[in-house]
Structures are given as C-alpha cells and as structure tokens.
Structure 1
Amino acid sequence: MSKFIVFNIQLLPVDRAAESEEVGPDGYLQLFWHLNEQVKKVLAAKALMLTAFRLVQDSYFAPLPATPVTAVENGADGELFVLGAFIKFDKTSSVEDLYTRVTLFEQQEGQEGISGRREYPFIFNPRAHWLAVDTQSGRLPSIKNLEKALNHFLKGIADEHFPHHVLTINLVSKKDELVSVLERAVGFKKIEVDLTFKNGPTSDEVLDDFAENRLHRLHLRATTERGGVMPHVPQTIDGIVRNAAGYGRASITFVESVDGKNVTTSFQTENAPETVGGRQQRNEDTTGFFRRMNSRLLELARKVGHLGD
C-alpha cells in the first residue's frame, strides 16, 4: 500500500506586469524539466553528494531522473504529469562488522560509499502544481526537512528561469481537522499562521485579496498574556487561519473540554497532511499505477476546492 503526502508548489507573479502573468501547466512542467536536466548533469559528473540536501550529519536527500508521462494511456496529445523519485542515503567511507569490528568495506578512490539507500517515488501534476511523495511507510524525512529540501532543489531554478515569479512551497493539510479544532475549542492561547496566496482563480475573499495585492507571504502571531484566553478566533484573522491548511501552515494552542475539564492542547497542520494512496493491482503495470495515483491527486484537488471541475 502506497501513501503519498502532498506539497503545493507555486510560482506566484511578482506584480501585475505582463511578464508576471501566471505560468500555467506548461510553466510548471518547464520547472521540473530544468530540475531533471540539472539532475542528469549531476549524475553524469558523479557529483550527487555535493548537490544533495543534507538532512542530518551524514544523511542526504536528492532527486533522481524523472520523466513526463501521459495522464491517459496511449494519449498522444493527453495531459502530462511528471513521474520520478527522490533518494535518501547515508554517506559512509567504511563498513565494519557489529561484533568483530572487522572492516567489510572501505571506500576506494573514485567511489562514493553509502548505506541505508531508500527511494521515494513522486508524481507532480502541473495543472494542480501539486507534488505527491510516497511516504514509504513513514520512512520519509520530516515535513520541515522536505520543504527545505524542495526549496534547495527548486529555488535556484525558479530564480533563474522565472525571474518575475516567487517560488512558494507548502504542505497540503487536512482542512477538516483544522476546522474541527476551531469548532471544538473553548478558547485560544496562541495562533501562528504562515500564508501565501493561491495561484489561479479563487472565490475565497482572503486569498483573492492576497492575490490582488500580491501579498506573497504573511506571518501572523496572535497571543494572550498572563494566562488569558481568547474565547474565539478574532473575526479579523478567522479567514486567514482557515486557509492555512491549503496555502501555508498553522500552529494553534487552544483549550478544549475533556471529561468536563478544560485542557490545553496544541495542533499543527503539518501533523495532519492530506494523502492519496492505493495498492498496485495485479493486472496493472507500474506506470498504470502512477497514472491512477495522478487521477486521485486531481480528485483531491477538486474535492478541497483547489481546482475547479
């Protein structure tokens, strides 16, 4: 069973000038085409260790070559999505036996010794500009590290090839869980939100206002002092908070009633990621499976209001 978490990757117009118009699906495909060309050059030069994102100590994360795939089998003129994988590995120059301490492997000149290699398939849909990454049963790096890694790989490309746009990347979280917190809370102690605007049309008043004014990033922090509690989310920021699941992140410290007692609890949207998933069927090849996952990704995008019908 594969389960994918989802990231919203956006190239937002800097201003209202003609060159800052939305890039559309072709622009997002171009973004990943440039990434793939960069990956191929890195692998040819055997320089992956130098360009990979360092997670912690000697643990690294990097993209592998990807390929565009038609969303419908044999669809020559069909819509495309990108199919690829990330790799995580630990750098090591030698390996020894746990009990005897005898060296089993020692790196030679021209070699790159690694251990713990694991690959994480991904699909990128350019219409939704959503990236879905296989969690590999929870072995994926943390959300924060993944967002940093994606920025590491894509920001330089975006700056060079899309100079009139701003790259933003955020986890897509479950809005119903965020709304559940807002509805069951009897008070709020701290609310922190990071939010950007939506690439594409929207009927949401907050996101539309952000887009109209090209507000690329908003960081909001609302707190009480000396043990005080906000009885409700202030109306002035309610719409901002509710949009954090799809276009940013939120951290909320709130009070709820549990068995008749008021209990202080914390909630982070990154702990409630939206997912798509499924199991490869017997009569289904690997590409067919990822086509089906791409369809489910689009279904989710429509369900949460990110894409129209």
Structure 2
Amino acid sequence: MLQSMTGYGIAHRETDTYAATVEIKSLNSKTLDLSLRLPRFLQDRELEIRNLVTKSLIRGKVNLNLDFTRPRAAARTGAVLNEAVLLLALEELRQVSARSGASLEQLTALAHALPGALRIPADSTAATEEEEEVPWEELLPLLHEALDRVNQFRRDEGQALTNEILSYLDKIRIQLADVERHDPTRIEQVRQRLQNHLAEITGSEHFNPTRFEQEVLYYIEKLDIAEEKVRLVNHLHYFTETVYLPEPTGKKLAFISQEIGREINTIGSKANDSVIQHLVVGMKEELEKIKEQINNIL
C-alpha cells in the first residue's frame, strides 16, 4: 500500500524532574533532508538519531525537534536563603519605607530577588548538574513513539492517495476501451481513403505496382496501434500491482508512468484520427494527475 511522504508525529513525557517532547514533521522531497534540533546534552547522539530516522522514514524533508525542559522548582532544588544578605537588605528596606512611605510588606517581597539572596551549596550544584544528564535510554522510547505516529500518519494519507490514483487509472482504462471500440471505424476509413487513392493513380501511365504496394504496407504499419494498445494495458496492470507492494514504490511508479505516457503519445501520433486524438488528450490529463500525486508518495 502506498505511503505519503507528508507526516506528523509527537510524543511527550513529563516527570517530576523534567518534561521532554519529540516532534517530527515530514514533507515531500526526492531524498531524505533531515534537520535536527537537540538539547546540548544529546549532541553526541546525533548520528544515532539520524540513522534511526533514516531507517524509519526513508525519504522526505524531515524536521525533528527534541525539546527538553525542567520545571522551575526542580531547577532550583538545593537553593537556600543567604541569611546575612537578607538581614542587611531588610534593614535597608525599612529605611527606604520610612523615607518613602511605601509599605514595608511590598518592599520585603523584593528582598528574595536581590543578588545573593539565594545561594546553592557546592554539593547541591553538583547534584543538579548530574540531574541534567537524563539517560538516553529513557528518552529513546519517545523518539520511537513519534516515528511510529509519523508512519501511521503517512499510511493514512497513503490510503487516500491510493484511492485517488487508482480512480485516475480507471479513467485511462475507460478511455483506452473507447479507443479500442473506435479503432475498427478508423481502420475502415483509412481503407476507404486508400481505395479512393488507388482508383486515381492506377490509371496513370507512371503507376508502379511494386512501389505502390511497398508504400501501402508502410502506411498501414505506421497507422497500426495494436501493439501500443497491448503495451498500454500491460503497463496499467503493472502499475496497479505495484501500488499494492509492501515496500516503498514511489520511484518505480514514476518510471511506469513514463512508459504509460510514451504509449499514449505513440497512439496519438500514429492514429491520425480526431476521435482518438480527443481520447488521447483525456488520457494525458489523467496521467498528469497521477504524476502529480506520485510526487507525494514514498
């Protein structure tokens, strides 16, 4: 079944000490164009992440953002009040309150924001730095979850694309059947023209029967579209089979579409018939719709 290259997936985890989110967006691209945004402590995992994404998504313009944050309360764990600084600040604030008439309660609330009002003991700082190193094995399942959701999104989009492309293919089959029905009429018209032309030239003294026969055979062979019709039917059948293959088939379908277009063009150029020309234009129109959608397929 077809898969679209367009996809979106997100996975989130929140604990008492951190919140992590993996967000992946995928758009159309001829190759894999991967852009990563990682927290600093995961920079050494970039190659591993790239390999995982490449293996899972294969193609597309992919943006992956791994956002890692810590709650403010957790970030300040271990901080204690600097009593000496606060006492000195409070004394100064009382003097300001007396001079300005401002409420002491309002000014006291500012004391905790003064430089040096909070201090983090050396052992607490070390502990905080250690907490920043969340094990990669703990975050890896988030990446897998986001990738799974992108691929599910792609499959859902691919199902819609499959139905749309096959509907265009059915219209080409219908128009080809119309060509098949009209072809005997076209051949009869060609035969009648040849007979009329033969009646005109056989009376000429310069008439060469051998050369005329060769030219007639060449003319008939040039107008014969039987082989092109058979090949076009085979290409349409092969296209349908390829749509349902389990592996990515976007590039293969593009090649088959080129072959379908070649046969349609040859039918149009050899038929030399206005009715078939109109049908050929209709088939080309449906084929262009197919090619446009193939650009979205993995």
TM-score (norm 1): 0.23
Whose strand proportion is higher, 1 or 2?
1
